[in-house]
Structure 1
Amino acid sequence: MRNLRSRSSRNKEGLSGRSCRNDFISQMPDELLLMILDLLPTKDAVATSSLSTRWRFVWCSLNVFDFDGEKSLENMEDDSTVLLINEQTKFINQVNGVIQRHNLPTVQYFRIRFDLSMVYIQEIDHWLQFALDKKVEILELDLMQKSCMPRENPHENYDFPLPLSNRRMRHFYKWPSSDDIVLEMLSLYRLELYGVSVTEPTLKGFLKGAPCLEVLSIYGSHLSTHLHVGGSDNNLKHLKLVQCSGVKFISLCNFDLESFIHVGKFVEYHFDDLPKLTDLKVGGVSVGLEDNVFSQVSCCVSSLQVLHLDIIDGPEEILDTDSVPKLPNVKKLTLIIRATQDDSLLDYTSIAKACPILETFEIWLYWFSLAKRRRKVRRTASHCHKHLKLLKVEGYYGRISDLELVVYVMENAIALQNIVIDPSCLYSREGLTAANKLKVEQQARSSAKRQLQPIVPQGVELTIK
């Protein structure tokens, strides 16, 4: 027994000594250790303080904070309100405990991701003030519900504040005019808001108070009915609005915007003097005879290089082909089309015909009906696409209307190199179960192979996912 204990003791000493001598990571300077911690979730980075005295306070000098509670939300029951409140309390305590011990004057990146409503306004205000005091450059507030869906009652959203010092005062006094509302964020470069309400005065205020802000993204939020962004002193380059309720009119004027994305219900657009706008994605738009989107964005069509249209018109609507302007610089075109009753979709190719240097053509087909018709393949007027190299069709189901679109490109794109067919069911009104959806997609994949493989041109690679 004595020999065994002695051997065990020697092994422990030997391992311990060898571990100390070979612990190259702990011997690194703080700068390198911080680079390692920056790659970890904030919760894990803080946990390294328990490794040894060497690691105890290293995390306190982090300038990247990512408080991501998504995993906690995923593990919760859908209807457990009590559990949600407990997790919210734990999350709030964790964030407070970390930021109280931070000892650097600046923070580069600060992110909060958890299901938090207006109930927790004081805590969120405190975190926001911390980030602004630390001259944050990238700020993300993701306060969406654990279902990742916008709240039914937008008044439950956290309200992105006026200057935080005015938060209490505005409950007792009249709000100041928009010219007086300035939330200073002098170092802020990128701001992303999820499940956060933003009023028109507040939006103007933080754009005015954030001269370095170039990227603004707002998701699942409640906005003012009329949204106006512009002015030569505006430095914003990229604006993204996704599933934002309330807004009905968007005006963008007189600044160097480079990309604009709007996904959601139909709104009216007014664009003017946007000379650098090259990337445009708009949803819920019409290309029919009324409310044609091209007339609303006509000032910027000559500068566009990437165009993505989510079209609400069905194929039974009359497409005003004469209203489609020349799009001389568009290289990538994406069309989301509602496919119903197997009606021909060839009229939409007039948008592609308006792009003389088009290289990539993507078509997303939403399955509003799984009906098929037995009819001949229709053809439209030929048009030589000299530069088109890639056609991608998502939601290919195998209807004649789907086939017509692919045949059109095969016959008119002389430089075509790749056709990518994805039979995934993007949407269906028919309430498919997961098993039925998989079965339908398998049938669509078989139809694509049967229809397209015999006719694909030589030298063109066909990929069916």
Structure 2
Amino acid sequence: MDGGSSLRKTKHFEFRTVLIRRDTSSEYVRWVDRVLESHKGLVLKEFVIRSCLGLQHEEPITRWLEYALARQVHSLELNLEPWYDNSMYGLPRELLVAGDSRFKSIRALTFKDVSVSEKDIDFFLRNCPLLEELIVFNSPALSNLEICGPSLALKHLEIVFCRRLKSLRVSAPNLARFWVATYNGLLVGNLPMLVEILAQCKDDDVSLAHLFSTLSSSSRLETLRLTMFQSRGMHELHNLSLLPKLKKMVIEYIDKGRKTIFQLYDLIRASPFLEEFVLKYQSGCIPRTDNEVEDAIVSSPHHHLKVVEFSGGFGRTSLLRFVDYILENCVVLEKVIVDPCYGASNLIMLDNMLDFQENVRKKAKQHFEARVPQHVELVIL
């Protein structure tokens, strides 16, 4: 950047670097300061810092935040990859002053690898009346968090990879999209506008049942994106609460080497009006077809599922049986999309990887062409 007229008038600032050595960090700080000093605008629409500056750079980071706030910033992102000593920047108390008019213009806040506390989040919810998007990624300071209020403007919320988070209570009348990386302690209140949720399943069926029970009261929920980790503690879930409005379900299924995938059948049955189902199957080992458990699967016709997509895992008998179940029970099926080599790069590299992928694709094509009715469109990637 230079100090030309375009810079002086710009309303968007983004400072990004992949890696800063300790002996060059001071130079980087001075460069950012020079750029900001050359800016003469009174309003900033977007201000982004993406760098690996940590706690040892607290003073310049705070100064940059004050700069953005003084210019009525609309969208503020602080993305700080911590140093190897794991020191993490936290918002200073003197920066967060109740009633400060500088916060009233904020519409979007993102904190990644920043130590943000419950008090910090509560401050922003109370002092940013226009706040519609809040993203918190990897904050070790969160334990018991509440995001509640009848007048919240919040529409998009992400609370992810906050590993010390024990409970999360959310009640926001305008919230439409919600991403959460754990839901053991999730309590959902008034979310009448919620249409999409992305969640990560714990290694037990209790968490999954709790999620469905929690979301069953969300009257507009249309899309569920779920990451599931198959483990010894997960079994059939015959009594899942129904999600009557759900139209799209995207499952990223992480296979830890167990034999069956009962939960997928139960998820389909719990979503009677589902129109699109996407399964992304990943395994940490080379798929096998031997020694897999054979279980009786009860037929259950589905009258709304039109599009299904299957990616990866086509060496496993249990997955192929699930595919057959879908093809046999979906009464109005219109399109089948297949990516048989999805996730192959995550396997132990083979000398004949290309031959392996070609063989998997050939077998998947044979399997689907023999089972998909002619009136159903079949796409093999």
Shorter-chain-normalised TM-score: which range? 0.7 to 0.9
Which residue is equivalent to 1:279?
196
SS at match of 1:120: helix
Note if contact 2:142-2:162 (Cα within 8 Å) is conserved in structure 1.
no
SS at match of 2:227: strand
Note if contact 1:281-1:307 (Cα within 8 Å) is conserved in structure 2.
yes
Equivalent residues in 2 for 1:243-262, closer than 5 Å: 243-262=161-180
Which residue is equivalent to 2:302?
385
2:69 is the counterpart of 1:132? yes
Note if contact 2:138-2:160 (Cα within 8 Å) is conserved in structure 1.
yes
Q: Structure 1 pair 87/453, CA: closer, same or farther in 2 (3 Å)?
A: farther
Pick from 137, 142, 164: which aligns with 1:224? 142
- Counterpart residue identity of residue 311, structure 1: M
2:16 is the counterpart of 1:68? yes
Listed one character per residue, the Cα deviations across residues 80-135 of structure 1 (whole Å, up to 9, x for unaligned) are xxx61244333322211111121111011111111111111111101100110000
Pick from 9, 25, 30: which aligns with 1:93? 30
Note if contact 1:214-1:235 (Cα within 8 Å) is conserved in structure 2.
yes
Note if contact 2:155-2:174 (Cα within 8 Å) is conserved in structure 1.
yes
Which residue is equivalent to 2:249?
333
Equivalent residues in 2 for 1:236-385, closer than 5 Å: 236-263=154-181, 267-285=184-202, 288-289=205-206, 292-294=209-211, 297-298=214-215, 300-314=217-231, 317-322=234-239, 324-341=240-257, 343-370=259-286, 371-373=288-290, 380-385=297-302
Pick from 89, 114, 123: which aligns with 2:60? 123
- Of Structure 1 and Structure 2, the greater helix share is in 1
Pick from 100, 108, 113: which aligns with 2:45? 108
Deviation at 1:212, TM superposition (A): 0.5
Deviation at 1:62, TM superposition (A): 0.8
Note if contact 1:367-1:427 (Cα within 8 Å) is conserved in structure 2.
no
SS at match of 1:196: coil
SS at match of 1:124: helix
Counterparts of 1:392 and 1:463 in 2: how far apart (Å)?
9
Counterparts of 1:436 and 1:236 in 2: how far apart (Å)?
51
Note if contact 1:365-1:426 (Cα within 8 Å) is conserved in structure 2.
no
Q: Structure 1 pair 375/121, CA: closer, same or farther in 2 (3 Å)?
A: closer
Deviation at 1:417, TM superposition (A): 2.6
Counterparts of 1:454 and 1:136 in 2: how far apart (Å)?
58
2:150 is the counterpart of 1:213? no
SS at match of 1:110: strand
- Counterpart residue identity of residue 93, structure 1: R
Pick from 395, 401, 405: which aligns with 2:322? 405
- Counterpart residue identity of residue 314, structure 1: S
Which has the larger displacement, 192-201 or 391-400?
391-400
2:313 is the counterpart of 1:396? yes
Which residue is equivalent to 1:58?
6
Q: What is the aligned length? A: 379
SS at match of 2:159: strand
Which structure has the greater CA radius of gyration?
1
Which residue is equivalent to 1:9?
none
Which has the larger displacement, 283-292 or 231-240?
283-292
Q: Structure 1 pair 254/241, CA: closer, same or farther in 2 (3 Å)?
A: closer
Listed one character per residue, the Cα deviations across residues 423-453 of structure 1 (whole Å, up to 9, x for unaligned) are 222796xx72486776654553343223223
Pick from 68, 75, 81: which aligns with 1:144? 81
Which residue is equivalent to 1:28?
none
Deviation at 1:298, TM superposition (A): 4.4
Deviation at 1:368, TM superposition (A): 4.3
SS at match of 1:321: coil
Identity %: 24
* Unaligned stretches of 5+ residues in structure 1: 1-42, 50-55, 74-82, 146-150, 167-179
Note if contact 1:338-1:366 (Cα within 8 Å) is conserved in structure 2.
yes
Q: Structure 1 pair 181/426, CA: closer, same or farther in 2 (3 Å)?
A: farther
- Counterpart residue identity of residue 189, structure 2: D
- Counterpart residue identity of residue 227, structure 1: L
- Counterpart residue identity of residue 245, structure 1: R
Counterparts of 2:100 and 2:16 in 1: how far apart (Å)?
29
Counterparts of 2:373 and 2:168 in 1: how far apart (Å)?
44
Note if contact 1:368-1:427 (Cα within 8 Å) is conserved in structure 2.
no
Note if contact 2:114-2:139 (Cα within 8 Å) is conserved in structure 1.
yes
Note if contact 2:224-2:250 (Cα within 8 Å) is conserved in structure 1.
yes
* Unaligned stretches of 5+ residues in structure 2: none
Deviation at 1:410, TM superposition (A): 1.3
Q: Structure 1 pair 98/318, CA: closer, same or farther in 2 (3 Å)?
A: same
Which residue is equivalent to 1:199?
117
RMSD (Å), alpha carbons: 3.0
Deviation at 1:259, TM superposition (A): 1.4
Counterparts of 1:88 and 1:297 in 2: how far apart (Å)?
46
SS at match of 1:409: helix
Deviation at 1:301, TM superposition (A): 4.0
SS at match of 2:21: helix
Deviation at 1:340, TM superposition (A): 4.7
Q: Structure 1 pair 221/341, CA: closer, same or farther in 2 (3 Å)?
A: closer
Counterparts of 2:88 and 2:351 in 1: how far apart (Å)?
36
